[in-house]
Structure 1
C-alpha cells in the first residue's frame, strides 16, 4: 500500500495530510516546537564545523593545519542528540496518533508500506524525516510538492549492463579518485562513461558536451554527478562542472527529459545541498534521485558511494541500498563520520518502481529470457487455441483451427489466382467419373441406395473400352445383389484377364473388419482395397507397417506406377491376374517408395503418429484446395460414357475414379453423407467459373488426393504450436532488443507491420514453391503481443 503524507508549515503550526487507497484521508494539525528549527541550526553549525576541511563546496586549507580550539566532534554528537530527541518527541504527539497507527497497521498487515513524504517550505524539508520511528515495515521516501510529468515504467532486463554516465565536476579542493575506483570495481555490472573538465577547455564547449552526453541516443540507466552543487530555487539548483562554470537544472531540462524518455531511471548527486535538484528532476518525470541535503565531506561521499554500490550489486533496489548505506554509516563509522547518515535522501516519483541493477552471468542472462507473467499468459492462450482439434463442425462444434485452416487455404487460392501460379500439371491424368442424378435417369434407375451393380458394370465396361488401365471404384460393394452381381463380375474378370486392368475398391472398417467387395462381384484377392476414409481437410497417410489397406488415392497411384513399369518393358513386379498370390500381398512386398517414385511425404511421419494421441495432426499433409479443380483433375458425368466411344477421350494413361457425383442419397447411409459442405477455397474457384458450389463430394476429395500423390504436391503444415513457441522466442528477442535501444515508435511499428506482411507473403510463396504451410495469424499475434508494451514505452519521440 502506498501512502502520501504532506507536511505543510503554516505560521507556527504544521498540517499533516495523509492520503491513500481510493480517496481515504486523515489530517492533523500540530504546533511546531519553538526550539526545533533552532536545534536544527545548532546541529548544522556543529556539522559544518566538524567537516569544514574537505566539504564538497569549499576548498581545503593549505599549509600547516592548526588544531581547532573547539571539540567539534563532541559538539556535533550533542547537537544531533538534542535535535533528534526534540524531533521524535514532536512526532509522537497524540494528535498524530491516528496517522501513525494507520500507516503502521497497514505495514504490519501487508508486510511493508511506502510513505511518500512531501514537506514545504524548504526549511521543513531539511529535517531528518528518514529517522521517524514508525517501524521497519514502513519505508519513508521523499516526493516533491509539484510533479508535472509522468514517469515511464521501465521493466528489468533492458540491457546486459547498466549504462552509467559519470559526470565529474569541479575538482577544486576535492579528489574523485575514490569515485573512479569504486565505479571501476563494478565493471561486471556497470558500463561507465566518464565525462569531466579538461584543463584549458572552453566553458561553452564543455557545457555543450555535457548536455549532448546526457541526451545520448543509446540512453542511460544511471546519471552520477560528483562535485560541487548548491540550492537555487529559481533555477532548480546548480552544479559546478568546472572552475567558475556551472549548469542549472533549467539549462539541463530538455536534455534530461530526452534522457528520461530514453531510459534514465536513477540519478545520484554525490554533492552538496541537492534538495532543489531532486525536486526539480522528479518534477520533470525522472523516477528517482538520491541527493545530499547538506554539504558533504569528500571522504563521506566516497564512503557512502562504496556502501550504496555494494548493496546495489548484491541485488538490493535503490531504496533498500540507500537505507542500508545510511545504517552502515551510523553503526560502523559514526566515530569517523558522525551525523553523516542523516544527510542522504531519496526522492521518488509516486508511480515509480525502485531501480535495481540486473545481475550478470549465464543464469541472469537466462532469466532475462524468462517470460513475464503477461507473456506466459499470452503464449498459453495462443497455444491453447492452436491445440483445439482440427475437426469438422459435426464432430467438434467450436474449432478455431478448422476455421483458420479453411481461411488460410482460401488466401492461398486468391494468391495463386492473382499471381497466375496455377501449376502446369496435366489434369487429364486423373479422371473423376461422377454418377449424378442425370446418370440415374439415363439408366432409368430410381433406387439410389445401394448403388445398382448393373449400372456400375456398364460404366466399367465403357471405361475399359476407352483404354482405362487403373480404375478406382469409390463404392462399398460388400453386400450381394444376385440379379446384378453376375454382370459386374463378368466385366471385371474379363478386364483383368484380357487387359490386366488394375481395380481399386474403396473399403471401410466396420465392427473391427475391413469390408471387401462381395465374392460374387470379384474375388478380393484379384484387386486392391483402398481405405476410403476422408480425414477432414487432410490427406490420409500411408502406413507401411500396418495391416490396414493403404489409402484409396495412394493405392490408385501405386497401381498406376506398376502399370507404367510394365508398359516400359520392366517385367519385374506384380500385375493383376485371375490366379496366383493375392494381389495386395504382391504389392505390399514390392519396394514402393524408391522403385515407384512415390513422395516420402505420403508415408505416415512418426511425429504425426505421436500427435494423434493428443488429437493433433502435426505434419500430416493437407488437402490442397488452393488449386482449382479443373487444374487437378478432369470431371465427367457417368452418363457421358454412353456416347460413342470413338468420340470420347482415351483413358489409357489416366487414373479413373468412379464415385458419387452429388445425388442426395450418396454415402454410407442414404442421407447424403458423401455430400460435404464446400470449403471456402472451392467456393472461390466455383464462383470464378459461374458455377456456384453447392457441395463437395468424397469423390472430389479422392481426386484431389490422387493428384497430390501423382504430382508430388503434398503440402506439409508446420504446427501452429511450434511456430507460436518460435515466435515467442523471436518476440522476446525483439522485446529485449527494443528495450536496449531507443527508436521512434512509428518507425518500429512500421517495421513490425512490414515484417508481418513480408512473413505473410513469404508463407504464401513457400506454400507453392516448397509445399510448406507456415501458419501466419497466431505466430504474428505472439510477436505483436510481445512487442506492443515496448512500443508504448520505447520511443525517442515526445509523449
Structure 2
C-alpha cells in the first residue's frame, strides 16, 4: 500500500526532532524544532477534556473544550507551516491524497500523544500511525477471502459499563452468517481461556476487547479480564505472535488508554490496531465501534473506515473524543478489508476459487464433449438405458403411462410355430416367400390397406412368382419391403438392395430398414436408444406409421419408458382373417436370416413388456423396433436431449458458485443433497410431460466435484 512515511526521532538538541521521509517520490531527512507552547496547549486541552467528561457536576461546557481543541489544532497546523517542514510540504504537494503514516521512535511522550489526526483536513489525506515491529505481518490474512471473518470477542469486567449494544451488534452479524464469533465473557474471560483461544490454529481475523484498560509503557498496557484480574499486554506477547501467524489482522481496543496495548499488538506483528489514546466515555467507544463495523461492512478498507469513524465522532460523538482515536499498523501492513457484507464475502471467495475445481470442471466438460461426439459409446449408452428405466419407474409411480392411439399389429414369423400354422415349408437361411404370400392372402386388403414386410427381397428364392402374383392380384394400397441402409450392419449394408424386378412390377415398394442406430455384431444389434441419423419418409417405419411426412431428428431418443404394450400388439395367424387396422407389420422372430439375426439388445425399460409380447427377456426382434418407431412417428413422441456439454458446464459453474457461497463443506453437502432431490424428479417430469431429456449423471458429478473439492 503506497504511502508517505514520516519517522520522528530525537535530535541532539532537546527541543528538536529529526524527521525522515520515505515515499515513492524519494527519501529526505531534516530537523524540526518543537514549539515551546505545544506541550502546554496539549495539557490544557486534556485537563478540560477530563473536566468536561467528569460525571461529577458541574461539567465544563462543551464550547470551552471545543475552543481549547481548536487552539491545539491551530498550533499544530502553524508548526507544520514553519520552514523546517518544507521538505514534507513539497512532498505532500507532489503526492496529493497519498496517506501519511507517522512513526514516533523513542520520542518524548508528548509527540506520540499529540492528536496528529487533527491534521487530516489540513493535509487533505488520511493519517495513521506506524509502530516498530520486529515481525513481518503474516500472509495468513490472504485466507480471509475464502471464509467468513472469525472474531474473538474478549469482554472485560463490565462493572460500570454498558456493553450490551456492542455485543448485540456482533451477535447479529454472527446470526446472519457474516462473521464467526467466539465470545469470552464473565468467568470465561480469564487468562487460560484467552491463551487457548489465541492459540487456535484455525486463526482469528479480528480480536475485539470491550472493557477497562490502562496505560503502562513498560508492561505493554494493561486490560482487565472478566474475572477481575488485570493483565499486562507483554504477558500475551507470545500468544499474539501465534495468533498473528494464524491470520490475526486487526485488534479493536474498545476501551480507554489503549495506546500501549496497541503498541504491544503491532510489536507482535499484528498488522492493524485501533485504540483511544486516553480515557474516554463508554458512549464514545461504543459509537466508534459501531461506526467502524458499519463502514467495513460496506466494503471500506480499515484506514477508510477509520477516517469515517473519526468524522462520525466529531459530528455526533462526545466532545473531543475524535482527537483521541488512533489507528496503528505494523510496518509493511497490507491494506485491510473485512468482508462483513455477504455480497463482498461472496465475491472474494469466488475470486479465490481453486485450481482443483477448474481441473475437475475441465475434465468433466471434456468427458461430456467426448460423449456428444461419440454418442454410441458404451458408457453413454449404459447411462441412457438406466435413465429410461428410471423414467419408466417414475411413470409407474406417478400414474403417467404415456400417450395412446390405436395399436399397430405385428406378426412375427418363426419356423417352428407360425410356418406350421401357415402350412408352408421353410426356406433354409431365408424368410420363406411362400409364408409371406400366405400372410397376404389371409389378410383382407380392404381392412388392412398397408402391409410392411420387414425383410429384404433382393435375391432369387423359391415362391417369388407366387408372392408377386398375390401382391399384383390384391392391389393393396401399399405393400412394403426393405433395403439395407448404411447403418444396418449387414453384409450388404449401404447397397440399395432393391427387391427383385418381378416383385417391383407387381407393386412392391422398398424403404430403408435402418432405425437410426449404429450396427452391431452379427448375432444382435446394440440398444436402439439414441438416433445417429434421422428417420424420415425414406424409412420403413415412416411408411407404415400413417405419418410419412414426420421426421424423427438425429440425436432424438426413443422413449422406451412409456407403456408400449397397448401401442404395439403382436398377433397370431388366426387373427389375420378378421384383422382391421391401418397397417400391419410382418417380420421374423429375428433368428431366420443366416447372414445376420434381426435382433436388438432390449432396453431395460421395455424388458417387462417382452414377456407379454411372447419373446425372450433380453432381446427384441427388429420388426417390433420398427413398430415402436412407427408409433413414435405417428404420435410425434420422442425425447429431445439437452446439450450434455452445456448442462455439465452450467452445473460446474453452479458448483463453483455454491462453494463460494457456503464456506462449510457440510453445508454444501446438504445443499447438494437438496439439489439432487429437486433435480431428479424435475428432470424426470420434464421428460414425461415436455419430452425434454435433461442429463443428470455428468451434471450432478460436475456440481458435486466443483463444490466439494474446495475445502474451505
TM bin (shorter chain): 0.5 to 0.7
Of 77, 81, 95, the residue aligned with 1:103 is: 95
Of 353, 373, 384, the residue aligned with 1:402 is: 373
Of 48, 51, 62, the residue aligned with 1:50 is: 48
Q: Is the 8 A contact 1:275 1:292 kept in 2?
A: yes
Partner residue in 1 for 2:156: 169
Q: Map 1:312-351 to 2 at 5 A.
A: 316-331=300-315, 337-338=319-320, 340-345=322-327, 347=329, 350-351=333-334
SS in 1 for 2:74: helix
Partner residue in 1 for 2:491: none
Partner residue in 2 for 1:35: 34
Shift of 1:18: 1.7
SS in 1 for 2:319: coil
Deviations 1:595-646 (A, max 9, x none): x9xxxxxxxxxxxxxxxxxxxxxxxxxxxxxxxxxxxx9999957x9xxxxx
Within the alignment, does 1:13 sit opposite 2:18 as a pair? yes
Q: How many residues align?
A: 564
Within the alignment, does 1:151 sit opposite 2:140 as a pair? yes
Shift of 1:80: 3.4
Structure 2 portions without partners, runs of 5+: 12-16, 387-411, 414-426, 440-451, 488-495, 520-528, 537-544, 601-620, 633-637, 685-692
Query: Over aligned residues, Cα RMSD in angstroms?
Result: 6.6
Deviations 1:312-342 (A, max 9, x none): 5666554333212212333556xx6236335
CA distance change for structure 1 residues 378 and 100 in 2, over 3 Å: closer, same or farther?
farther
TM-score by length of 2: 0.57
Of 284, 308, 319, the residue aligned with 1:300 is: 284
Deviations 1:333-368 (A, max 9, x none): 6xx623633533253773343225316xxxx69x95
Partner residue in 1 for 2:406: none
Partner residue in 1 for 2:549: 547
Within the alignment, does 1:505 sit opposite 2:476 as a pair? no
CA distance change for structure 1 residues 779 and 337 in 2, over 3 Å: closer, same or farther?
same
Looking at structure 1, the residues matched to 553 and 455 of structure 2 have their Cα atoms a distance apart, in angstroms, of: 13
Of 51, 75, 78, the residue aligned with 1:82 is: 75
SS in 2 for 1:564: strand
SS in 2 for 1:93: helix
CA distance change for structure 1 residues 507 and 370 in 2, over 3 Å: closer, same or farther?
farther
CA distance change for structure 1 residues 463 and 490 in 2, over 3 Å: closer, same or farther?
closer
Of 635, 643, 655, the residue aligned with 2:598 is: 655
Q: Is the 8 A contact 1:274 1:293 kept in 2?
A: yes
Partner residue in 2 for 1:120: 105
CA distance change for structure 1 residues 230 and 67 in 2, over 3 Å: closer, same or farther?
closer
Looking at structure 2, the residues matched to 550 and 375 of structure 1 have their Cα atoms a distance apart, in angstroms, of: 43
Shift of 1:269: 0.7
Shift of 1:268: 1.6
CA distance change for structure 1 residues 775 and 268 in 2, over 3 Å: closer, same or farther?
same
CA distance change for structure 1 residues 399 and 197 in 2, over 3 Å: closer, same or farther?
closer
Partner residue in 1 for 2:394: none
CA distance change for structure 1 residues 73 and 350 in 2, over 3 Å: closer, same or farther?
closer
Looking at structure 1, the residues matched to 558 and 41 of structure 2 have their Cα atoms a distance apart, in angstroms, of: 97
Looking at structure 1, the residues matched to 85 and 232 of structure 2 have their Cα atoms a distance apart, in angstroms, of: 39
Within the alignment, does 1:565 sit opposite 2:562 as a pair? no
Within the alignment, does 1:291 sit opposite 2:275 as a pair? yes
CA distance change for structure 1 residues 268 and 548 in 2, over 3 Å: closer, same or farther?
same
Looking at structure 2, the residues matched to 524 and 377 of structure 1 have their Cα atoms a distance apart, in angstroms, of: 68
Structure 1 portions without partners, runs of 5+: 20-24, 108-112, 391-397, 416-429, 432-456, 478-483, 510-514, 576-584, 591-595, 597-632, 642-653, 658-701, 767-771, 795-799
Q: Map 1:98-247 to 2 at 5 A.
A: 99-104=91-96, 118-121=103-106, 126-132=113-119, 138-146=125-133, 147-153=136-142, 158=147, 165-171=152-158, 175-177=160-162, 179-181=163-165, 183-184=167-168, 189=173, 191=175, 206-212=190-196, 222-230=206-214, 236-241=220-225, 245-247=229-231
CA distance change for structure 1 residues 730 and 126 in 2, over 3 Å: closer, same or farther?
same
Of 341, 354, 372, the residue aligned with 2:337 is: 354
Within the alignment, does 1:586 sit opposite 2:583 as a pair? yes
Partner residue in 2 for 1:736: 661
Partner residue in 1 for 2:539: none
Looking at structure 1, the residues matched to 277 and 75 of structure 2 have their Cα atoms a distance apart, in angstroms, of: 19
Please, which moves more after superposition, 207-216 or 317-326?
207-216
Partner residue in 2 for 1:678: none
SS in 1 for 2:141: coil
Shift of 1:29: 0.8
Partner residue in 1 for 2:2: 2
SS in 2 for 1:738: coil
Please, which moves more after superposition, 336-345 or 777-786?
777-786
Q: Is the 8 A contact 1:715 1:773 kept in 2?
A: no
Looking at structure 1, the residues matched to 76 and 550 of structure 2 have their Cα atoms a distance apart, in angstroms, of: 95
Q: Is the 8 A contact 1:531 1:549 kept in 2?
A: no
Partner residue in 1 for 2:613: none
Shift of 1:28: 0.8
Looking at structure 1, the residues matched to 377 and 270 of structure 2 have their Cα atoms a distance apart, in angstroms, of: 51
CA distance change for structure 1 residues 301 and 380 in 2, over 3 Å: closer, same or farther?
closer
Looking at structure 1, the residues matched to 216 and 379 of structure 2 have their Cα atoms a distance apart, in angstroms, of: 66
SS in 2 for 1:357: coil
Looking at structure 2, the residues matched to 289 and 86 of structure 1 have their Cα atoms a distance apart, in angstroms, of: 28
Looking at structure 2, the residues matched to 636 and 225 of structure 1 have their Cα atoms a distance apart, in angstroms, of: 90
Looking at structure 2, the residues matched to 47 and 227 of structure 1 have their Cα atoms a distance apart, in angstroms, of: 25
Shift of 1:17: 1.6
Deviations 1:400-448 (A, max 9, x none): 85379848559989x9xxxxxxxxxxxxxx99xxxxxxxxxxxxxxxxx
Shift of 1:377: 13
Deviations 1:524-567 (A, max 9, x none): 76666545655899435778866257799989xx99x9683235
Of 234, 252, 255, the residue aligned with 1:271 is: 255
CA distance change for structure 1 residues 251 and 389 in 2, over 3 Å: closer, same or farther?
closer
Q: Is the 8 A contact 2:203 2:246 kept in 1?
A: yes
Shift of 1:217: 9.3
Please, which moves more after superposition, 74-83 or 403-412?
403-412
Q: Map 1:351-500 to 2 at 5 A.
A: 351-358=334-341, 368=346, 372=350, 401-402=372-373, 406=377, 408-409=379-380, 460=430, 490=465, 493=468
Looking at structure 1, the residues matched to 625 and 371 of structure 2 have their Cα atoms a distance apart, in angstroms, of: 28
CA distance change for structure 1 residues 563 and 35 in 2, over 3 Å: closer, same or farther?
closer
CA distance change for structure 1 residues 47 and 78 in 2, over 3 Å: closer, same or farther?
same
Partner residue in 2 for 1:686: none
Q: Is the 8 A contact 2:255 2:275 kept in 1?
A: yes
TM-score by length of 1: 0.52
